[in-house]
């Protein structure tokens, strides 16, 4: 079974500039290398060597980011498009977080507050940064576990949640809950004006359905599916990899066995890597029911 995602892939025309932007939120350089063309083609549909930069939040286990170069132009996905929607970080000071985003050239959305059952008052804001990368910043009375519980000096958590918009949660969630064995924490329908304002939707009270999935320990990265039941949207162009788009990645013990346990996924060719970032690793790109793209990695992370 998959467990929670370990990290997210971020497409960027300029990986160094994207890394500089993300460093504002506590992510530091872990490793950098060149992804060989054969692996780049299999995983991202790009037939050339690509720069990779791996960033991690200090003292965190999972929840790192891997920036992958793409020569393609950004595309506009639209408000209700089906595809990668948001990557969330917890923050101790949301005003400070949004100021840091603005200093890095990001569009600042409004900071809004609203109640969430089990989490008390939640404050949330969204920043659209370089190349269209969407980050959400969350400050709540009762956080789920993150590195903020272990590092009193940290302003931001590791990658706390990864969100993908689908046309239908009912069609998509079974793959992750039943085949992949993830734990479904909640399945919530909301039409809160504050959430619509946070997401900068065209009207107040847009109905939204959200489900959260994790491993049994509910540790980061939480995987979220989001649906707009009353607002049809297009399928975003998510392959080949483009700037600002992201993909959730899972680590598995053995690649072939994991693929066999997920028969309803559509797979691209599996690859073996010997580059400086992934020595001896195996990887494969998958497409889940509902159109969610993801990666599986068989990789020894000891000492990373």
Whether residue 209 sits in one domain with residue 105: yes
Whether residue 137 sits in one domain with residue 44: no
Query: Which CATH number does the domain housing residue 171 bear?
Result: 3.10.180.10
Q: Is residue 236 part of a domain?
A: no
pTM confidence score: 0.95
The pLDDT > 90 percentage for the chain reads 83
Q: Is residue 200 part of a domain?
A: yes
DSSP per-residue string spanning 41-92 = HHHHS--S-EEEEEEE-TT-SS-EEEEEE--SPP----TT-BEEEEEEEEES
Residue 302 has pLDDT above 60, yes or no: no
Q: Which of 181, 202, 227 is at the close of a domain?
A: 227
> What is the four-CA torsion angle of 248, 264, 214, 10, rounded to 10 degrees?
0
Whether residue 189 sits in one domain with residue 271: no
Whether residue 223 sits in one domain with residue 95: yes
Q: Which of 204, 227, 250 is at the close of a domain?
A: 227
- The domain tally of the chain equals 2
The whole-number pLDDT of residue 252 equals 96
For the segment 171-219, what is each residue's pLDDT rounded down to a tens digit?
A: 999 999 999 999 998 898 988 898 899 999 999 999 999 999 999 888 8
Q: Is residue 112 part of a domain?
A: yes
Whether residue 106 sits in one domain with residue 67: no
For the segment 34-41, the average pLDDT, to the nearest whole number, is 97
CA distance 103 to 107: 10
Whether residue 220 sits in one domain with residue 116: yes
Whether 226 and 85 have beta carbons less than 8 Å apart is answered as yes
Q: Is residue 47 part of a domain?
A: yes
Q: Where in the sequence is the domain holding 199, given as residue range(s)?
A: 83-227
Whether residue 218 sits in one domain with residue 143: yes
Q: What are phi and psi of 150, to 5 degrees?
A: -110, -20
CA distance 18 to 293: 21
Whether residue 286 sits in one domain with residue 156: no
Whether residue 51 sits in one domain with residue 108: no
């Amino acid at each position: 079974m998959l467990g929670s995602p370990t990290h997210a892939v971020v497409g960027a025309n300029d990986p160094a500039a994207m890394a500089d932007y993300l460093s504002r939120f506590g992510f530091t350089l872990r490793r950098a290398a060149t992804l060989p063309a054969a692996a780049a083609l299999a995983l991202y549909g790009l037939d050339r060597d690509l720069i990779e930069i791996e960033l991690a939040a200090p003292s965190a286990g999972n929840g790192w980011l891997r920036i992958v170069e793409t020569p393609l132009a950004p595309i506009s996905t639209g408000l209700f498009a089906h595809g990668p929607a948001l990557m969330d970080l917890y923050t101790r000071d949301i005003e400070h977080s949004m100021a840091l985003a603005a200093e890095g050239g990001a569009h600042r959305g409004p900071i809004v507050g609203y109640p969430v059952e089990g989490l008390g008052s939640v404050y949330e804001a969204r920043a659209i940064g370089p190349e269209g990368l969407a980050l959400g910043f969350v400050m709540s009375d009762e956080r789920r576990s993150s590195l903020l519980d272990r590092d009193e000096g940290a302003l931001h958590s590791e990658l706390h949640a990864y969100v993908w918009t689908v046309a239908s949660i009912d069609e998509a969630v079974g793959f992750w809950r039943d085949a992949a064995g993830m734990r479904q924490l909640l399945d919530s329908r909301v039409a809160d004006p504050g959430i619509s304002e946070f997401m900068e939707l065209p009207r107040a009270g847009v109905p939204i359905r959200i489900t959260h999935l994790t491993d049994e320990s509910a540790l980061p990265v939480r995987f979220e599916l989001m649906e707009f039941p009353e607002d049809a949207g297009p399928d975003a162009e998510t392959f080949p990899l483009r700037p600002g788009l992201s993909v959730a990645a899972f680590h598995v013990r053995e690649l072939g066995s994991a693929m066999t346990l997920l028969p309803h996924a559509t797979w691209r060719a599996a690859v073996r890597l010997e580059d400086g970032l992934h020595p001896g690793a195996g990887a494969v790109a998958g497409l889940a029911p509902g159109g969610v793209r993801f990666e599986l990695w068989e990789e020894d992370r000891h000492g990373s």
